[in-house]
Amino acid sequence: MFSLPLTARAELRPLEPWLAEEFLSHLDRAREHISPWVGSSFRATDLTGARALLQRYADKRAQDAGGIWGIWLEGTLVGGVLFVSFDTALGVCEAGCWLEPGAEGNGLITRAAERIIDWAVNERGIQRVEWRTNADNVRSINVAKRLGMTLDGTLRQAFLSGDRRVDLAVWSVLADEWRARGARAAADKAEIDELTAAFFRLFTNAGGARPDVGAIHRLFVPGGIIVRGGSQQEVYDLDSFVEPRQKLLASGELTEFSEEEIWERTEIFGDVAQRLGRYRKRGIHNGTPFTGAGTKSIHFLRTPEGWRMTALSWDDDR
């Protein structure tokens, strides 16, 4: 089945009519939370209504006029993104979203919206992506801001919600703006890649290299921490982390040591970022060769001097 990873625990997949029962269960969990912000057509209360809603978007997709995709978190449908409208002749589409409260705070909507907007702009030639939302919907507006959108204006009392008229805020991003955002993200990613590689190089003494683990202070913000996972969990400041490793690498006890990243996933949100990676290591300890592997999680902050690490945690495979 087609799917796109959003995080290590979440994925984006087409939300099709045959999933109506799962979709209805999700709506039952989310109904009270999303009802103030979604239209009446998105408030299905029975299986027939849920199937009709999904069929309507399936028909739009078949006509190249819209589409809907679900977000699954650890195998459970928790929300989604959609194209309310999609017009390649005009080069304009409208994107939207919804999410049940238990899944908030994970950046899922922003990631999912990025995926479909990338496709619309870079593959379908859309020139303007709109994001129309109730002007009181702070969470939706924050997503628009994270997507680099601009507030075009507010349509006063544009639609009826319950027994009152509601203002509609219209946000948008243009194709050139979206591509420029992507270029900035690529530059940020390259800097974070090099910062991570520099961390691994700090501890390499293979091939006669002379490690300078004290240089770790150039990679971290002041007060950065490093955490060891597993059964013997430990929390270090930078000095307490590097001191024993400097001695180990310089004493001859550990030789030909190197560590390298073999897989990673990096997510950047404005001035903060996080990276999940797998690594492998090898060396000779007291004359005995060894190999190993594990997982690292690293958090980053953009500073006036560039990206810096704020915290790193690791867990060796057992």
Residue ranges and CATH numbers for the domains of the chain are: 4-180 (3.40.630.30), 202-316 (3.10.450.50)
- Identify the H or E element spanning 110: helix 108-118
Q: Could you read off the pLDDT of 76-101 as tens digits, one per residue?
A: 999 999 999 999 999 999 999 999 99
Quote the pLDDT of residue 159: 83
CA distances to 45, 192, 261 from 300, in Å:
43, 8, 17
Quote the pLDDT of residue 278: 96
Quote the pLDDT of residue 58: 97
CA angle 131, 79, 2 (to 5 degrees): 95
Quote the pLDDT of residue 267: 87
Quote the pLDDT of residue 39: 76
Low-confidence ranges of the chain (pLDDT < 50): none
Quote the pLDDT of residue 15: 96
